Structure 1
Protein backbone atom coordinates (compact mmCIF):
# COMPACT_ATOMS: atom_id res chain seq x y z
CA UNK A 1 0.00 0.00 0.00
CA UNK A 2 2.28 2.72 -1.27
CA UNK A 3 1.98 6.09 0.34
CA UNK A 4 0.21 4.96 3.48
CA UNK A 5 1.74 4.61 6.92
CA UNK A 6 0.19 1.80 8.86
CA UNK A 7 3.14 1.33 11.21
CA UNK A 8 1.14 2.64 14.17
CA UNK A 9 -1.55 -0.02 13.70
CA UNK A 10 -1.70 -3.04 15.99
CA UNK A 11 -3.09 -6.37 14.85
CA UNK A 12 -4.07 -9.29 17.05
CA UNK A 13 -3.65 -12.50 15.07
CA UNK A 14 -5.46 -15.52 16.54
CA UNK A 15 -4.44 -19.10 15.79
CA UNK A 16 -5.50 -22.45 17.18
CA UNK A 17 -2.95 -24.09 19.47
CA UNK A 18 -2.75 -27.04 17.11
CA UNK A 19 -3.95 -27.48 13.56
CA UNK A 20 -3.98 -23.87 12.36
CA UNK A 21 -3.73 -23.53 8.58
CA UNK A 22 -0.18 -22.34 7.87
CA UNK A 23 -0.91 -20.18 4.81
CA UNK A 24 -3.81 -18.42 6.53
CA UNK A 25 -1.52 -17.26 9.31
CA UNK A 26 1.88 -16.78 7.66
CA UNK A 27 0.76 -15.09 4.40
CA UNK A 28 -1.35 -12.35 6.05
CA UNK A 29 1.34 -11.93 8.73
CA UNK A 30 3.93 -11.33 5.99
CA UNK A 31 1.63 -8.76 4.35
CA UNK A 32 1.22 -6.98 7.71
CA UNK A 33 4.94 -7.09 8.53
CA UNK A 34 5.78 -5.65 5.11
CA UNK A 35 3.73 -2.58 6.07
CA UNK A 36 5.32 -2.31 9.52
CA UNK A 37 2.25 -3.25 11.54
CA UNK A 38 2.71 -4.37 15.12
CA UNK A 39 1.55 -7.99 15.42
CA UNK A 40 0.58 -9.85 18.57
CA UNK A 41 -0.17 -13.58 18.28
CA UNK A 42 -2.88 -15.02 20.52
CA UNK A 43 -3.85 -18.65 20.99
CA UNK A 44 -5.37 -20.98 23.54
CA UNK A 45 -2.11 -20.77 25.52
CA UNK A 46 1.38 -19.35 25.01
CA UNK A 47 2.84 -22.79 24.25
CA UNK A 48 4.26 -23.28 20.75
CA UNK A 49 1.36 -23.57 18.26
CA UNK A 50 1.62 -26.07 15.40
CA UNK A 51 0.24 -25.67 11.90
CA UNK A 52 -1.18 -28.52 9.83
CA UNK A 53 1.64 -28.17 7.28
CA UNK A 54 4.38 -28.23 9.91
CA UNK A 55 4.86 -24.52 10.56
CA UNK A 56 4.92 -23.25 14.10
CA UNK A 57 4.44 -19.97 15.91
CA UNK A 58 4.98 -18.86 19.49
CA UNK A 59 1.89 -17.05 20.78
CA UNK A 60 2.55 -13.85 22.73
CA UNK A 61 -0.61 -14.05 24.80
CA UNK A 62 -3.40 -16.44 25.71
CA UNK A 63 -6.84 -15.50 24.32
CA UNK A 64 -8.23 -15.35 27.87
CA UNK A 65 -5.76 -12.55 28.74
CA UNK A 66 -6.37 -10.27 25.74
CA UNK A 67 -7.59 -6.69 26.19
CA UNK A 68 -9.04 -6.05 22.75
CA UNK A 69 -9.02 -2.26 23.09
CA UNK A 70 -5.22 -2.29 22.65
CA UNK A 71 -5.55 -3.31 19.00
CA UNK A 72 -6.87 -1.93 15.71
CA UNK A 73 -7.81 -5.30 14.23
CA UNK A 74 -8.39 -8.93 15.16
CA UNK A 75 -7.53 -11.49 12.47
CA UNK A 76 -8.47 -15.14 13.03
CA UNK A 77 -6.77 -17.90 11.02
CA UNK A 78 -8.53 -21.11 10.07
CA UNK A 79 -7.61 -24.77 9.84
CA UNK A 80 -9.01 -27.91 11.47
CA UNK A 81 -7.77 -26.78 14.87
CA UNK A 82 -9.88 -23.62 14.62
CA UNK A 83 -13.05 -25.70 14.35
CA UNK A 84 -12.10 -27.69 17.45
CA UNK A 85 -10.44 -25.01 19.60
CA UNK A 86 -11.67 -21.59 18.44
CA UNK A 87 -15.33 -22.13 17.47
CA UNK A 88 -16.44 -22.95 21.05
CA UNK A 89 -14.21 -20.31 22.72
CA UNK A 90 -16.65 -17.91 24.46
CA UNK A 91 -13.87 -15.47 25.40
CA UNK A 92 -12.86 -15.23 21.74
CA UNK A 93 -16.48 -14.65 20.73
CA UNK A 94 -16.69 -11.87 23.35
CA UNK A 95 -13.48 -10.29 22.02
CA UNK A 96 -14.86 -10.37 18.47
CA UNK A 97 -18.15 -8.75 19.55
CA UNK A 98 -16.29 -6.08 21.55
CA UNK A 99 -13.90 -5.37 18.67
CA UNK A 100 -16.86 -5.01 16.31
CA UNK A 101 -18.67 -2.68 18.73
CA UNK A 102 -15.51 -0.54 18.98
CA UNK A 103 -15.41 -0.20 15.18
CA UNK A 104 -12.21 -2.21 14.85
CA UNK A 105 -11.42 -4.40 11.85
CA UNK A 106 -12.69 -7.92 12.51
CA UNK A 107 -11.37 -10.53 10.10
CA UNK A 108 -11.49 -14.31 9.77
CA UNK A 109 -10.57 -16.81 7.07
CA UNK A 110 -11.48 -20.40 6.15
CA UNK A 111 -13.57 -22.03 8.90
CA UNK A 112 -13.05 -19.13 11.33
CA UNK A 113 -15.82 -16.81 10.07
CA UNK A 114 -17.94 -19.21 12.15
CA UNK A 115 -16.42 -17.50 15.22
CA UNK A 116 -17.76 -14.20 13.87
CA UNK A 117 -21.16 -15.79 13.29
CA UNK A 118 -21.24 -17.16 16.83
CA UNK A 119 -20.23 -13.72 18.14
CA UNK A 120 -23.39 -12.34 16.53
CA UNK A 121 -21.75 -9.82 14.21
CA UNK A 122 -22.63 -11.20 10.76
CA UNK A 123 -26.39 -10.63 10.72
CA UNK A 124 -27.33 -8.89 7.47
CA UNK A 125 -23.70 -8.82 6.28
CA UNK A 126 -22.21 -10.41 3.18
CA UNK A 127 -19.58 -12.95 4.23
CA UNK A 128 -17.70 -15.96 2.96
CA UNK A 129 -16.40 -19.09 4.67
CA UNK A 130 -14.73 -22.37 3.76
CA UNK A 131 -16.96 -24.21 1.28
CA UNK A 132 -18.20 -26.79 3.79
CA UNK A 133 -21.88 -27.42 4.61
CA UNK A 134 -21.43 -27.09 8.40
CA UNK A 135 -19.56 -23.78 8.03
CA UNK A 136 -22.07 -22.34 5.56
CA UNK A 137 -24.97 -23.39 7.81
CA UNK A 138 -23.39 -21.57 10.79
CA UNK A 139 -23.20 -18.34 8.76
CA UNK A 140 -26.74 -18.67 7.40
CA UNK A 141 -28.12 -19.48 10.88
CA UNK A 142 -26.44 -16.28 12.15
CA UNK A 143 -28.24 -14.22 9.49
CA UNK A 144 -25.25 -13.69 7.19
CA UNK A 145 -25.65 -13.26 3.45
CA UNK A 146 -23.27 -16.07 2.40
CA UNK A 147 -21.40 -15.73 -0.89
CA UNK A 148 -18.82 -18.19 -2.26
CA UNK A 149 -16.10 -15.59 -2.98
CA UNK A 150 -12.36 -15.42 -2.17
CA UNK A 151 -12.65 -12.38 0.11
CA UNK A 152 -15.60 -10.24 1.16
CA UNK A 153 -15.40 -6.91 2.96
CA UNK A 154 -18.57 -5.55 4.55
CA UNK A 155 -18.08 -2.42 6.64
CA UNK A 156 -15.36 -3.33 9.19
CA UNK A 157 -15.70 -7.12 8.68
CA UNK A 158 -13.33 -9.03 6.37
CA UNK A 159 -13.91 -12.71 5.59
CA UNK A 160 -11.79 -15.05 3.45
CA UNK A 161 -12.78 -18.43 2.01
CA UNK A 162 -9.71 -20.68 2.09
CA UNK A 163 -5.89 -20.95 1.96
CA UNK A 164 -5.76 -19.89 -1.70
CA UNK A 165 -7.19 -16.50 -0.68
CA UNK A 166 -4.77 -15.95 2.23
CA UNK A 167 -2.61 -13.22 0.66
CA UNK A 168 -5.62 -11.43 -0.84
CA UNK A 169 -7.30 -11.67 2.60
CA UNK A 170 -4.26 -10.04 4.25
CA UNK A 171 -4.30 -7.25 1.67
CA UNK A 172 -8.04 -6.67 2.26
CA UNK A 173 -7.39 -6.34 6.00
CA UNK A 174 -4.66 -3.78 5.26
CA UNK A 175 -6.98 -1.79 3.04
CA UNK A 176 -9.68 -1.86 5.71
CA UNK A 177 -7.17 -0.63 8.30
CA UNK A 178 -6.36 2.35 6.07
CA UNK A 179 -10.01 3.36 6.24
CA UNK A 180 -10.48 3.41 10.02
Structure 2
Protein backbone atom coordinates (compact mmCIF):
# COMPACT_ATOMS: atom_id res chain seq x y z
CA UNK A 1 0.00 0.00 0.00
CA UNK A 2 2.05 2.96 -1.20
CA UNK A 3 -0.09 5.82 0.15
CA UNK A 4 -2.72 6.31 2.83
CA UNK A 5 -4.96 7.94 0.21
CA UNK A 6 -5.32 4.51 -1.41
CA UNK A 7 -6.39 2.85 1.85
CA UNK A 8 -9.82 1.63 2.90
CA UNK A 9 -9.96 1.87 6.69
CA UNK A 10 -12.62 0.33 8.92
CA UNK A 11 -13.29 1.77 12.38
CA UNK A 12 -15.48 -0.21 14.80
CA UNK A 13 -17.12 1.62 17.72
CA UNK A 14 -20.30 1.80 19.77
CA UNK A 15 -21.72 4.00 22.52
CA UNK A 16 -19.17 4.99 25.15
CA UNK A 17 -16.23 5.52 22.79
CA UNK A 18 -13.59 8.03 23.85
CA UNK A 19 -14.51 10.97 21.61
CA UNK A 20 -10.99 12.04 20.66
CA UNK A 21 -9.79 8.47 20.05
CA UNK A 22 -12.40 7.94 17.35
CA UNK A 23 -12.84 11.43 15.92
CA UNK A 24 -9.22 12.67 15.78
CA UNK A 25 -7.67 9.67 13.94
CA UNK A 26 -10.76 9.47 11.70
CA UNK A 27 -10.41 13.15 10.76
CA UNK A 28 -6.68 12.77 10.08
CA UNK A 29 -7.23 9.69 7.91
CA UNK A 30 -10.01 11.39 5.93
CA UNK A 31 -7.96 14.58 5.55
CA UNK A 32 -5.15 12.48 4.06
CA UNK A 33 -7.54 10.89 1.57
CA UNK A 34 -8.24 7.50 3.13
CA UNK A 35 -11.70 6.05 2.62
CA UNK A 36 -12.93 5.55 6.17
CA UNK A 37 -15.98 3.52 7.16
CA UNK A 38 -17.42 3.55 10.67
CA UNK A 39 -19.19 0.33 11.66
CA UNK A 40 -21.21 -0.23 14.83
CA UNK A 41 -23.67 -2.75 16.21
CA UNK A 42 -26.37 -1.11 14.09
CA UNK A 43 -26.69 2.14 12.14
CA UNK A 44 -28.20 4.25 14.94
CA UNK A 45 -26.16 7.27 16.01
CA UNK A 46 -23.61 6.48 18.72
CA UNK A 47 -22.47 8.77 21.51
CA UNK A 48 -19.02 9.20 22.97
CA UNK A 49 -18.09 9.54 26.63
CA UNK A 50 -17.90 13.32 26.25
CA UNK A 51 -21.14 13.73 24.30
CA UNK A 52 -19.94 13.74 20.70
CA UNK A 53 -22.35 11.92 18.41
CA UNK A 54 -21.61 10.20 15.11
CA UNK A 55 -23.71 8.13 12.73
CA UNK A 56 -22.16 4.81 11.68
CA UNK A 57 -21.90 4.08 7.97
CA UNK A 58 -22.92 0.45 8.43
CA UNK A 59 -23.65 -2.31 10.92
CA UNK A 60 -20.84 -4.72 11.80
CA UNK A 61 -22.89 -7.63 10.44
CA UNK A 62 -22.65 -6.02 6.97
CA UNK A 63 -18.84 -5.72 7.05
CA UNK A 64 -16.75 -7.90 4.76
CA UNK A 65 -13.15 -7.66 6.00
CA UNK A 66 -11.89 -8.35 2.47
CA UNK A 67 -13.18 -4.91 1.44
CA UNK A 68 -10.82 -3.09 3.85
CA UNK A 69 -7.08 -2.64 4.11
CA UNK A 70 -6.85 -1.83 7.83
CA UNK A 71 -8.80 -1.63 11.09
CA UNK A 72 -8.84 0.99 13.86
CA UNK A 73 -10.29 0.36 17.34
CA UNK A 74 -10.84 3.43 19.55
CA UNK A 75 -11.04 3.16 23.32
CA UNK A 76 -13.22 4.51 26.04
CA UNK A 77 -14.16 2.02 28.74
CA UNK A 78 -17.73 1.19 27.71
CA UNK A 79 -17.08 0.95 23.96
CA UNK A 80 -14.54 -1.93 23.87
CA UNK A 81 -16.09 -3.59 26.92
CA UNK A 82 -19.40 -3.89 25.04
CA UNK A 83 -17.78 -4.77 21.70
CA UNK A 84 -15.70 -7.62 23.16
CA UNK A 85 -18.94 -9.41 24.04
CA UNK A 86 -20.15 -9.25 20.44
CA UNK A 87 -19.17 -12.38 18.51
CA UNK A 88 -19.24 -10.67 15.10
CA UNK A 89 -16.90 -7.90 16.28
CA UNK A 90 -14.40 -10.34 17.81
CA UNK A 91 -14.54 -12.47 14.65
CA UNK A 92 -13.89 -9.40 12.47
CA UNK A 93 -10.91 -8.31 14.58
CA UNK A 94 -9.45 -11.82 14.34
CA UNK A 95 -9.96 -11.87 10.54
CA UNK A 96 -8.01 -8.62 10.10
CA UNK A 97 -5.10 -9.78 12.26
CA UNK A 98 -5.01 -13.27 10.75
CA UNK A 99 -4.94 -11.74 7.27
CA UNK A 100 -1.89 -9.67 8.22
CA UNK A 101 -3.74 -6.39 7.77
CA UNK A 102 -2.78 -3.36 9.89
CA UNK A 103 -4.81 -3.13 13.10
CA UNK A 104 -4.59 -0.21 15.53
CA UNK A 105 -6.10 -0.05 19.02
CA UNK A 106 -5.81 2.71 21.61
CA UNK A 107 -6.52 3.00 25.34
CA UNK A 108 -9.05 0.24 26.23
CA UNK A 109 -9.30 -0.80 22.55
CA UNK A 110 -6.64 -3.52 22.96
CA UNK A 111 -9.21 -5.42 25.07
CA UNK A 112 -10.65 -6.46 21.71
CA UNK A 113 -7.27 -7.83 20.64
CA UNK A 114 -7.08 -9.85 23.87
CA UNK A 115 -10.63 -11.13 23.37
CA UNK A 116 -9.82 -12.15 19.80
CA UNK A 117 -6.75 -14.03 21.14
CA UNK A 118 -4.37 -12.35 18.68
CA UNK A 119 -1.73 -10.83 20.98
CA UNK A 120 -0.01 -13.92 22.37
CA UNK A 121 3.73 -13.30 22.00
CA UNK A 122 3.17 -9.76 20.65
CA UNK A 123 4.35 -6.45 22.15
CA UNK A 124 1.46 -4.10 22.97
CA UNK A 125 0.50 -1.19 25.17
CA UNK A 126 -2.80 0.15 26.48
CA UNK A 127 -4.48 1.99 29.32
CA UNK A 128 -2.90 1.00 32.67
CA UNK A 129 -6.02 -0.74 34.00
CA UNK A 130 -6.10 -3.27 31.11
CA UNK A 131 -2.40 -4.15 31.08
CA UNK A 132 -2.93 -7.19 33.32
CA UNK A 133 -5.60 -8.43 30.90
CA UNK A 134 -3.17 -7.95 28.01
CA UNK A 135 -0.43 -9.85 29.88
CA UNK A 136 -2.90 -12.63 30.74
CA UNK A 137 -3.68 -12.87 27.01
CA UNK A 138 0.00 -13.63 26.43
CA UNK A 139 1.29 -10.22 25.32
CA UNK A 140 4.45 -8.47 26.34
CA UNK A 141 3.15 -5.15 27.69
CA UNK A 142 5.16 -1.93 27.48
CA UNK A 143 4.44 1.60 28.68
CA UNK A 144 5.10 3.94 25.76
CA UNK A 145 3.19 6.21 23.35
CA UNK A 146 2.89 3.53 20.74
CA UNK A 147 3.90 -0.08 20.42
CA UNK A 148 4.27 -1.35 16.88
CA UNK A 149 4.63 -5.11 16.46
CA UNK A 150 4.34 -6.12 12.83
CA UNK A 151 0.81 -5.25 11.72
CA UNK A 152 -0.35 -4.24 15.24
CA UNK A 153 -0.23 -0.65 16.51
CA UNK A 154 -1.33 0.03 20.09
CA UNK A 155 -1.34 3.13 22.24
CA UNK A 156 -2.19 4.21 25.79
CA UNK A 157 -4.35 7.34 25.98
CA UNK A 158 -5.76 10.43 24.24
CA UNK A 159 -2.49 12.36 24.63
CA UNK A 160 -0.83 9.70 22.45
CA UNK A 161 -3.26 10.19 19.52
CA UNK A 162 -0.85 12.11 17.22
CA UNK A 163 1.90 9.47 17.61
CA UNK A 164 -0.67 6.65 17.42
CA UNK A 165 -2.24 7.96 14.22
CA UNK A 166 1.12 8.57 12.54
CA UNK A 167 2.36 5.08 13.50
CA UNK A 168 -0.85 3.55 12.10
CA UNK A 169 -0.52 5.50 8.84
CA UNK A 170 3.10 4.39 8.51
CA UNK A 171 2.16 0.73 9.07
CA UNK A 172 -0.68 1.00 6.53
CA UNK A 173 1.59 2.65 3.95
CA UNK A 174 4.32 0.04 4.48
CA UNK A 175 1.95 -2.94 4.43
CA UNK A 176 2.34 -5.51 1.75
CA UNK A 177 -0.78 -6.50 -0.13
CA UNK A 178 -2.61 -8.32 2.68
CA UNK A 179 -3.50 -11.96 2.54
CA UNK A 180 -7.20 -12.44 1.94
CA UNK A 181 -8.97 -13.37 5.13
CA UNK A 182 -10.32 -16.89 4.98
TM, length-normalised to structure 1: 0.92
Aligned partner of 1:51 in structure 2 is 48
Aligned partner of 2:5 in structure 1 is 7
CA drift at 1:95: 0.8
Aligned partner of 1:113 in structure 2 is 110
Distance in 2 between the 1:15 and 1:169 partners?
Answer: 17
Count of aligned pairs between the two proteins: 174
Aligned partner of 2:124 in structure 1 is 127
Aligned partner of 2:138 in structure 1 is 143
CA drift at 1:84: 3.3
CA drift at 1:168: 1.7
Aligned-residue CA RMSD (Å): 1.2
Distance in 2 between the 1:151 and 1:88 partners?
Answer: 26
CA drift at 1:54: 1.4
Aligned partner of 1:74 in structure 2 is 71
Distance in 2 between the 1:150 and 1:5 partners?
Answer: 23
CA drift at 1:155: 0.1
Question: Are residues 1:171 and 2:166 paired?
Answer: yes
- Residues 62-116 of structure 1, C-alpha deviation per residue, up to 9 Å, x if partnerless? 1122111100111011112224311212211111111111111111111110100
Structure 1 unmatched runs, 5+ = none
Structure 2 counterpart SS, 1:174 = helix
Distance in 2 between the 1:96 and 1:84 partners?
Answer: 14
Please identify, of 79-88 and 49-58, the stretch whose mean Cα deviation from structure 2 is larger. 79-88
Structure 1 counterpart SS, 2:81 = helix
Q: Is the CA contact 1:29–1:170 (under 8 Å) kept in the aligned structure 2? A: no
